[in-house]
């Protein structure tokens, strides 16, 4: 554990579930007070299954005054080894968020670096993410580069 400005970096615990689901809601522009959406129940179950699985997931948080104000998620994806991912071990970095009134303190950089250090510790080949236009300069500063691979999805 280390200090960051006024915040304390630590790994999330099962007790943090409710607070983290609330933060994740902010990513989707959802009212923090809205609690009936089905995704929240599924997100809480997913978090509970993975929070203590250090080989497959990392959930850094930063606390200020006992409240979580920033977090990110790193999950290991194992795929077919290839020229761009020799061991087939990719960490997906997602849900990077800092509560708006705490932005500008380096919290996002700190939690991203925490996930990168975890990725190295589990022998991942690379870290992938999807970045908003506003976040791209931060990721570029940390060494991420744009790829030419288009991203597509199919909602089932």
On whether residue 147 sits in a domain, the answer given is no
On whether residue 153 sits in a domain, the answer given is no
On whether residue 138 sits in a domain, the answer given is no
On whether residue 31 sits in a domain, the answer given is yes
Residue located via tokens 């999807």? 130
| Residue 95 structural domain | 2-130
Per-10-residue mean pLDDT of the chain, 156 residues long, equals 71 95 85 69 94 97 96 97 94 95 95 98 96 91 88 80
Tell me the angle at which helices 17-27 and 38-50 cross, rounded to the nearest 10 degrees. Answer: 130
Q: How many domains does the chain have?
A: 1
On whether residue 105 sits in a domain, the answer given is yes
pLDDT at site 3: 47
pTM score, whole prediction? 0.89
Residue 82, exposed/middle/buried by CB under 10 A (0-12, 13-18, 19+)?
A: exposed
pLDDT at site 132: 86
On whether residue 136 sits in a domain, the answer given is no
Instruction: State how beta strands 7-11 and 67-78 pair.
Output: unpaired
Q: Please tell me the distance from the alpha carbon of residue 64 to that of residue 20, in angstroms, as a whole number.
A: 14
On whether residue 141 sits in a domain, the answer given is no
pLDDT at site 55: 96
On whether residue 144 sits in a domain, the answer given is no
For the domain that residue 66 is a member of, what is the CATH number? 3.40.630.30
What DSSP assignment string belongs to the chain?
-EEETTEEEEE--GGGHHHHHHHHHHHTT--TT----HHHHHHHHHHHHHTT-TTTEE-EEEEETTEEEEEEEEEEEE---BTTBTT-EEEEEEEEEE-GGGTTSSHHHHHHHHHHHHHHHTT-SEEE----TTTHHHHHHTT----S--------
């Amino acid at each position: 554990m280390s200090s960051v400005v006024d915040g304390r970096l630590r790994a999330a615990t099962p007790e943090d579930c409710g607070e983290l689901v609330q933060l994740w809601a902010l990513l989707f522009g959802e009212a923090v007070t809205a609690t009936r959406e089905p995704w929240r129940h599924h997100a809480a179950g997913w978090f509970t299954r993975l929070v203590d699985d250090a080989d497959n997931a990392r959930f850094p948080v930063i606390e200020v005054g006992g409240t979580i104000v920033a977090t990110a998620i790193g999950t290991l994806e194992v795929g077919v080894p290839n020229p761009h991912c020799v061991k087939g071990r990719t960490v997906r970095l997602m849900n990077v968020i800092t509560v708006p009134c705490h932005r500008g303190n380096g919290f996002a950089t700190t939690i991203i670096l925490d996930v990168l250090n975890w990725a190295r510790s589990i022998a991942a080949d690379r870290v992938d993410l999807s970045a908003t236009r506003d976040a791209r300069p931060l990721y570029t500063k940390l060494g991420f580069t744009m790829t030419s691979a288009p991203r597509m999805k199919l909602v089932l």
